[in-house]
Amino acid sequence: MTTNSASNTALPIQLSAKDRHIILDNVLHALQKRFYSPENLNEDWRAAVERHRPLIEGSPTADAFEQAISDLLTELHTSHLGFFHRSARRASSRAALSATYLADDTPYGKRWIFQDVHSGGAASIVGIEPGDILLSVDGREITPPEHPVFVMGKQTSIEIVGNDEQRCTVSVDVGRPKGKKLHFIQPTLIETRHIDGGLGYLKVAMFPGMVGVEVANAISSAVKELGAIESLMIDLRGNTGGGVGALRVMSLLTPEKIPVGFALDRRRVTKNLESEKLTFPRFSRIPVSTKALWPLALKFAPAMLARKPIVLQSEGLGKKPFHGRVVLLVNRHTASAAEMIVAFARENQLATIIGEETAGRLLSATSVKVGKGFRLALPTGAYYTWAGTILEGTPITPDQIVEFDWRDRRGGRDRQLEYAIDHIRSVVVMNSMRQ
């Protein structure tokens, strides 16, 4: 979760040897108490702790200490796990720039190459495009496997090679996050357009908010504005997830109320899960107004206090003219709540999935204080689809694989989008021949 490429923003604290020892012990205790997969805290993990302990407890600075614990946490090989200080305002490219990237060989050596660049994000505003090659950040060369980190609330210079093969440096204004804990900058959430032949295109960049009232309303409004479309393409490429707002997209895929899945805390894992899940309360409607959140909280308070899982269920929005002619576009950065949509569509055969394998990152998580302003973010429960699949560590393979080709994107072609359009057109033609 942290790297040292933003070393010009040293943490403003001093730690004694005792501080470092206590914080490490607090991290280990929190993992032992709440980590979703206790079987991974085995002998190999304990050996890793002892290997890393000298570097952690002997760290000369707070930044080095933060990095040393982060390095230890990578030994658990899981998502939603990180260590950071409350004063830090550093974030990854996807959070700070609303952009993702992949590593590949280029004429400039092994480099990071931008893959998804969401409209309205910091990268898009300064003209960065998919396929652009990243060379340096604030004058410091960045090459894989080191990930670039960006300082929130400050201007950052980024050197890239654009599609004209010319080096250029752009100055990116990375805004401050709205929340104290979630370090991300919100891009344009929803984009729509008409593609010929009655095909509507809906792109969702992320699902902010725990319940997602605003994004759910925006999705519904966008689909309504598309009008009487005969088929629908939902672009989830680069969508790294968020909250329950994703349920609105799932509800667009079917007229019925269908169970989606639930997050299960490790303390509730049972051999009788198939029968017990039928007793879990169900959340099957995102309210139209934030004013309804308090009544909603009161409704589910007993289950939350008892740590009882809550099943997501599609909202039953009725029949849509595009049902049976839906495509989901996904890639390696489609994660978390966006993967819930993909899994729901797959299990219920509601859409054709096109693109790359998804990220395989889907856990419920929280963060806890561990001392001196540091927090540990950790996964506390696995997400189960209604059919019983655990998605963490298991990417979803599309029905039709179309890999991202950054060289084509530099030339202005989006082969994944082109393929999806051709697929939907062929489905429409076949359906018309059957009628």
State the Cα–Cα distance between residues 149 and 92, nearest whole angstrom: 5
Q: What is the pLDDT, as a whole number, of residue 181?
A: 47
pLDDT of residue 354: 98
3-state class of 113 per DSSP?
strand
**pLDDT score, position 4:** 42
Q: Which residues contact 127 (CB under 8 A, 6 or more apart)?
A: 170
pLDDT at residue 194, rounded to an integer: 95
Amino acid residing at 213: V
Region(s) of the chain under CATH 3.90.226.10: 190-360+395-434
Residue intervals of the chain classified under CATH 2.30.42.10 are: 91-173
φ/ψ of residue 209, rounded to 5: 90, 145
The domain 190-360+395-434 belongs to what CATH superfamily? 2-enoyl-CoA Hydratase; Chain A, domain 1 (3.90.226.10)
Q: CB–CB of 368/376 below 8 Å?
A: yes
How many whole angstroms from its chain centre is CA 117?
14
Counted residue by residue, the chain has a size of 435
pLDDT recorded at residue 3: 41
Instruction: Find all residues with CB under 8 Å of 193, minimum gap 6, and list them.
Output: 200, 201
Q: What is the DSSP string of 173-226?
A: E-PPPSSSS--------EEEEEETTTEEEEEE--B-SSS-HHHHHHHHHHHHHH
Tell me what pLDDT residue 233 has: 97
Please tell me the distance from the alpha carbon of residue 167 to that of residue 186, in angstroms, as a whole number.
Answer: 28
Chunked mean pLDDT (size 10), the chain, 435 residues: 47 90 97 91 96 96 92 91 80 84 96 96 94 96 90 88 95 71 72 92 95 96 94 96 96 98 77 88 95 90 86 96 96 96 98 96 87 92 90 92 96 95 86 68
What confidence score (pLDDT) does residue 223 get?
A: 97
Q: Is 195 exposed, middle or buried (0-12, 13-18, 19+ CB in 10 A)?
A: middle
Short-list 95, 420, 428, 93, CA closest to 236: 420
Architecture of domain 91-173: Roll (2.30)
Q: Quick one: which of 25, 26, 6, 39 has its CA closest to 382? A: 39
What's the predicted TM-score (pTM) here? 0.88
3-state SS string over 353-408? Answer: EEECCCCCCCEEEEEEEEECCEEEEEEEEEEEECCCCECCCCCCCCCEECCCCHHH
Residue with tokens 């302003």: 373
